[in-house]
Structure 1
Amino acid sequence: MSNPWRGEVTLVIDGQACVMRLTLGALAGLEDALAEPSLIALVERFEQSRFSSGDVLALLKAGLRGGNCPVAPDALDHAEIEGGPMAAARAAAELIARAFVVPGA
């Protein structure tokens, strides 16, 4: 079970519930992977719907690393995500939102 106060989001990958989280290290890696100059630019990219499926995949991989999920980030390329691409995009959006917003605020 994920804890939104810690910025956690759960996604079921290949039948296994994985708790993801964007740590500072995961965010730094995501900035590099998406060639964004800052956290603000990264958030704006998603807020303005200027993201691709590759961006969603990179965000989920960062969340897997940050959450120490037993599913290897590279395995996500060929994994079955419960709920399909829409569930993956929703989880990615929740990861970004929870990394920068206090739940209940």
Structure 2
Amino acid sequence: MIVRIMGEGQVKLADSHFAELNKLDDELLEEMESGDGPGFRATLLALLDKVRELGTPLPDDALEPSELILPAPDATLDEVRDMLSDDGLIPG
């Protein structure tokens, strides 16, 4: 799956990594619902770091359609809330 981190670029991520990422996504959703700003920030950064760690960066000139778009590291709680689906940021 091709994943875009807003403001950074795209990475190719194997579907096998999504169970691990969904744990962080669930934690992020809980923190957003409870209004835990510091927890939200830490978990968002952990989620993006994990995507970078597990994914393979695509060249900057690649024009692959992104199947999943994640917020920038400095996104606010409200900006991330606007991006959420019923499953959180990551489907599944």
Q: TM-score range by the shorter chain?
A: 0.3 to 0.5
TM-score by length of 2: 0.41
Structure (1 or 2) with the greater strand fraction: 2
TM-score by length of 1: 0.38
Structure (1 or 2) with the greater helix fraction: 1
- Structure of greater relative contact order (alpha carbons < 8 Å, 6+ residues apart): 2
